[in-house]
């Protein structure tokens, strides 16, 4: 669907959209692999592994480091290690992308309701939003374990639309990956993708989205033009 007039709320992805979290994710992965006496993955590998939650990230790290044959047997232990290490590392090196705070301020000034929707578990999401000064901007935060399913399933997006009492066509998702695009399409929501995110190493321009923007202020300006 084209990016339409009448958008009343905006949902924003976290990793790769609001925050560059790869340095912390990579630090935790390095500690996990070292604890298992396995070779490290590069930060660029980790960047391409981000997008479907921490269990998937751990599985991809294990496959890259230990091979597919050993990865499955190590998954449970590795996931437990990773979660402990990431809880310690989260926020140490992560940074807010340029323009994010300005963009959130613009969206709020347009009287748009704001929600954060992420596949990251709440135990990581909520402290990170607080630490980086982003929590006050969001009326609603839906994490990867808030509901039974997460992106690319549309359940999280449908939940936010219901909480806001808005039709999906009035709720824009801004994300950076195929998971965001698929979830939005399945939920019936318009979707814009940022050009600077992760998208599992693929080109964001290949995604089925309604707009590609270089920053949140650009997205806000696009919505402003649509509403005028």
Side by side, the strands of the sheet bearing 191-194 are 140-142, 113-117, 9-12, 171-175, 191-194, 211-213
CB 166 within 8 A of CB 9: yes
CB 124 within 8 A of CB 15: no
Residue 2: phi, psi to the nearest 5?
-70, 155
- Which of 13, 176, 180, 210 is catalytic? The answer is 13
- Tell me whether residue 13 is one of the annotated catalytic residues: yes
Q: What is the dihedral of CA 98, 58, 129, 5, to 10 degrees?
A: 60
Residues with a known catalytic role: 13
């Amino acid at each position: 669907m084209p990016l339409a007039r009448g958008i009343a709320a905006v949902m924003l992805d976290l990793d790769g959209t609001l925050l560059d979290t790869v340095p912390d994710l990579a630090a935790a992965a390095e500690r996990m692999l070292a604890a298992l006496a396995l070779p490290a993955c590069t930060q660029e590998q980790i960047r391409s592994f981000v997008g479907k939650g921490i269990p998937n990230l751990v599985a991809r790290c294990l496959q890259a480091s230990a091979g597919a044959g050993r990865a499955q047997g190590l998954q449970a232990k590795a996931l437990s290690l990773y979660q402990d290490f990431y809880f310690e590392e989260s926020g140490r090196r992560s940074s807010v992308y340029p323009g994010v705070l300005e963009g959130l301020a613009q969206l709020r000034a347009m009287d748009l309701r704001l929600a954060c929707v992420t596949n990251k578990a709440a135990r990581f999401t909520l402290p990170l939003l607080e630490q980086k000064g982003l929590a006050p901007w969001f009326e609603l935060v839906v994490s990867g374990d808030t509901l039974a399913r997460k992106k690319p399933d549309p359940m999280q997006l449908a939940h936010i639309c219901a909480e806001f009492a808005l039709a999906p066509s009035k709720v824009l998702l801004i994300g950076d990956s195929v998971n965001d695009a698929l979830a939005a399409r399945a939920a019936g929501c318009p979707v814009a993708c940022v050009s600077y995110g992760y998208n599992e190493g693929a080109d964001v321009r290949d995604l089925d989205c309604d707009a590609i923007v270089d920053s949140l202020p650009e997205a806000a300006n696009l919505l402003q033009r649509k509403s005028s």
